[in-house]
Every structure is written in structure tokens, then in C-alpha cells.
Chains A and B, each alone.
Chain A
Amino acid sequence: SAVISQKPSRDICQRGTSLTIQCQVDSQVTMMFWYRQQPGQSLTLIATANQGSEATYESGFVIDKFPISRPNLTFSTLTVSNMSPEDSSIYLCSASEGDEQYFGPGTRLTVT
């Protein structure tokens, strides 16, 4: 199974600023995903990030707010732009090996 790491593990940011979250996979994977998990809630898919193409965003999420990079088969970044307190959440990346998805530990973001 793929091992996934994320940086930072947590951050406290001021409203109006942006934060870039990094996701590193220990093997080459075609598909990576970014999720948001608000306190006490389930996971909501933000976007699918495939290497060599633009990310595909789910309803309610837009590229201007959550730009994503996927420069190679082991790495992706998610930026949370112009943050507001409503963006306070856990952000998780995952990588797909066939049907199975493996998750990183998450980045806990607090916006003040």
C-alpha cells in the first residue's frame, strides 16, 4: 500500500492569507485526490488531480479558491486561497492504487 505524508500537519493562519499543503507519496500513482473534513463530519471530495492534466473539481469547489498542482506522479499541492474562518478544516490527500485509496494523515487548518 502507498504511504502518504503531508506538510504541514497543522497551521493557524490569518484570514485573507493563503496556505499551500504538500502531499508526497512513496510510489508513483496516477490518481490523487484532495478532501476536506470539517469537524465532526465525513470527508468531502474537493478535486481529483491527475498528473499531466488540470484538476477536476467537484461541485462547490473552484480552482481560484483551491488551486492544485500535480507536477509528477508522487507529489501534489493544494492551496487554500484568501482564507476565511469557514475554511477551518482538516485537509486530506489520498492516492489511488486501482480501486483502493490510501490517505495521508491530514493537515489541520485553523483560520482566525
Chain B
Amino acid sequence: GESVGLHLPTLSVQEGDNSIINCAYSNSASDYFIWYKQESGKGPQFIIDIRSNMDKRQGQRVTVLLNKTVKHLSLQIAATQPGDSAVYFCAEINDSGTYKYIFGTGTRLKVLA
């Protein structure tokens, strides 16, 4: 099926290497951030979240880093696997109470065998 990542920036990583996907967010007042993974033909899937009172959070094989000074968010994937190939979006909530997300532009991750 048609990929949702046709025109998005692409990161190519060798299988087994670590991946770092970056995101710049828009609002310094945003207090909650999420990374989503979207595979072709599917809806976004929650990976990991972080609140603004933290600068790092770890999950299983994934780590999110938050730098509020420069409004930057990154997703690190350890030992990248072919199943990690997808489009990755960051999202921020910048209007607390409305639960409305603002999505970043997305990055397509390609894992090379």
C-alpha cells in the first residue's frame, strides 16, 4: 500500500546500530510529549512519552530526551531491527486541558539488512 512517508525526511540505519530521530517542537509552554510509530497502512502507535519536568525517560530499547532550552526532542532506538522501519512522529500538547496534540513533520526510518 501507499506509504505515509513518501515525502518525509529519511533516516537509514544498519540493522543492529542505534537510531536517533530528532524533533523540534513549537511551544515552550508545552508540558507533555509523545513519540508515535506509524507503519504503512496503520494508525500511529504510542511508543513513549515524557513530561516537561523530566529530561530523559527510558523504555524497552527506546529512550526519549527532552531539551527544553532549545525545544528539542529526540528518540533513541537501541539495536535497531527491521521491524522498527516506519515513520516516527513526535507530538506535543501545548494547550493543557484540551488534550489537543500538535504533530511534528515526521521522519521515515529505514533499517538496512
Interface residues of A (CB under 8 A from B): 1, 4, 31, 33, 37, 39-45, 48, 90, 92, 94, 96, 99-106, 108
Q: Which residues of B contact A102 (CB under 8 A)?
A: 46
B4-A90 in contact (CB<8A): yes
B99-A1 in contact (CB<8A): no
B101-A45 in contact (CB<8A): yes
- A4–B44 alpha-carbon span in the complex (Å): 12
A40-B5 in contact (CB<8A): yes
Interface centre among A33, A42, A100 (most CB of B within 10 A): A42
B4-A40 in contact (CB<8A): yes
Which residue of A41, A96, A104 contacts B99 across the interface (Cβ within 8 Å)?
Answer: A96
A37-B4 in contact (CB<8A): yes
A41-B7 in contact (CB<8A): yes
Known: A42-B105, A105-B42. 18 other contacts (CB 8 A): A33-B100, A33-B101, A39-B4, A40-B5, A40-B7, A40-B8, A41-B4, A41-B7, A41-B106, A42-B104, A48-B100, A99-B49, A101-B34, A101-B99, A101-B101, A105-B41, A106-B42, A108-B2
Which residue of B2, B3, B42, B106 contacts A42 across the interface (Cβ within 8 Å)?
Answer: B106
Q: Give the shortest distance, in Å, between A107 (CB) and chain B (any CB).
A: 10
Q: List 12 A-B contacts (CB under 8 A).
A: A33-B101, A37-B4, A39-B2, A39-B6, A40-B5, A40-B7, A45-B101, A48-B100, A100-B46, A101-B101, A103-B36, A103-B45
B99-A106 in contact (CB<8A): no
